[in-house]
Chain A
Amino acid sequence: MRLAMAKGNPHIDIIRKAVVDTGPLFNVLALVFVRKPSSHRNSGFEKIFGAADYLYDPVTQRKLLDLFDNIQKILTTSHVIGELTGQSKRSKLPESEFWRSSMDYLVRKKVDERLLSLIEMCGSDEGRESVCKIGPTDAGLIELARREKCVLLTDDKRTLAQRAWNMGLGDKCKLVRNLLSTA
């Protein structure tokens, strides 16, 4: 089901299928982890959520988890899964416990991890240009969202979203921050 949603507008959609970028995926995994009674955290969120400062608000935290709960098919790329390691290291969360919790979540949600090779991405001039401009991870996410004809969720407005919008993804590329805001 899709309700009125223009690029950047904060109306809530119920998203059923989405390709997810590293930032939002890590935030969800970190939230699931820090909300567990055994690993509960109350502070240090600036290290965990970084630029996603909207997640300091417990109401928004819950809405993010709810947003992901409602997504029936979460897709991502192997590049993103690789990037999660770097994010978890920077967040200072205990690595093995974090990964245990995250694997449980990823398995429960049946997250579909796809490998988009560099050669595949460079199959077109536009693809080559994307890799050069925004790197293979982001270029792969745009390519996957296009192939699957579904929403792309990111918090990276400057690089990934901008490129996706320029490539005609329009309101298929959504900023998570805006989706959770009702201002």
Chain B
Amino acid sequence: MVSKVRAGKKNAKFGPNIVRAWFDTVINPLLRALEIEKKYLEANDWTWRLEFGSKSLEAVRPVQSIIGYEAMANLTLIFEFYSDVEKMTREHEEKREELLNACKELHQVIRESPELQKMYDETVSKASLSKQGLKNLRGIFPNGPNERHLDFLTEYIVNNGGELSSTMSLSFWRKNREVFLAILDNPGVRNHSKKTLNAGQSLLKTVEGFINLLEELRRNLSLEHDVPPYVYTVPAFVE
């Protein structure tokens, strides 16, 4: 098989110590995080969070946030030898940013739509809650004012009914999922929803490509330098 990983600097050399550091601080942590990203992106769950004013994609993080500031030096060293990795890293960051911006816009559009308030009022009305066998909103929304409830509900809709950010009662969300998600099809929201979906799917493709590239690089480096991809250390807790 012809390697897709193209080597850069032909004359410079690196040995098993550097390869070990690349595996432990860059390649393995990145692969682990990318697999998690992939899992959420495949489910169209962007893990969009709006909390205390900070806007983020909880499981789709910038590379520096995944591997940490210190390990960025090791990644930069990889870039010197493997330009494909640099290209893919940049692509990941750009597409992540596009998805983040799309989520921000979608959140704002949904949050400002009168339908959301109406939907919330109907779903949490006494009659509706009692129909679902619930007495109040405890355990359904995080503690806090109604404004926070609406943001939490909007997060859920932006994430296409994916994982809730908190450990809340799931039965309420599952029962009302279709009602909540219908808002994505409203005329004022549809285009933003589509844009977000496209951004998410485009990022997913990049993530899949990035995983393949890193797995191949790891395999090649491992065989070439006789460095195992992973060295077993006794876990802190074994069941």
Contacts and interface: CB of A to CB of B under 8 A. Distances in A.
Contacts of B237: 22-23, 26, 49-52, 87, 155
Given A41-B68, A42-B67, A12 B168 contact: yes
A167 B21 CA distance: 48
A121 interface: no
Where chain A touches its partner, the secondary structure class is helix
A115 interface: no
B61 interface: yes
B167 A67 contact: yes
Given A46-B233, A48-B236, A50-B237, A182 B67 contact: no
B167 A90 contact: no
Interface residues of B, number: 35
Contacts of A159: 239
A4 interface: yes
Contacts of B189: none
B177 to A, nearest CB: 12
A128 interface: no
A57 B235 contact: no
B239 A59 contact: no
Contact of B167 (A49, A57, A66, A91): A66
B24 A1 contact: no
Nearest to A4: B171
B25 A43 contact: yes
Contacts of A43: 24-25, 28-29, 67-68, 71
B42 interface: no
Contact of A90 (B28, B67, B71, B236): B236
A87 B236 CA distance: 6
Contact of A14 (B24, B139, B233): B139
Interface in B138-192: 138-139, 163-171
Contacts of B233: 46-47
Residue among B24, B32, B61 having the largest count of chain A Cβ atoms under 10 Å: B32
A12 B170 CA distance: 6
A59 B28 CA distance: 19
A91 B234 CA distance: 10
A58 B139 CA distance: 21
B2 interface: no
Residue among A22, A46, A59, A90 having the largest count of chain B Cβ atoms under 10 Å: A59
Given A43-B67, A59-B47, A91-B236, 19 more contacts: A1-B139, A3-B171, A11-B171, A12-B167, A14-B139, A22-B237, A23-B237, A42-B65, A43-B68, A49-B235, A50-B235, A50-B238, A56-B32, A57-B59, A59-B40, A66-B167, A155-B239, A156-B239, A182-B164
Interface of A: 1, 3-4, 11-12, 14, 22-23, 26, 40-43, 46-52, 56-59, 62-63, 66-67, 70, 87, 90-91, 155-159, 179-180, 182
Please give me the 5 A-B residue pairs with the lowest Cβ-Cβ distance, nearest first: A50-B235, A42-B68, A50-B236, A50-B237, A14-B139
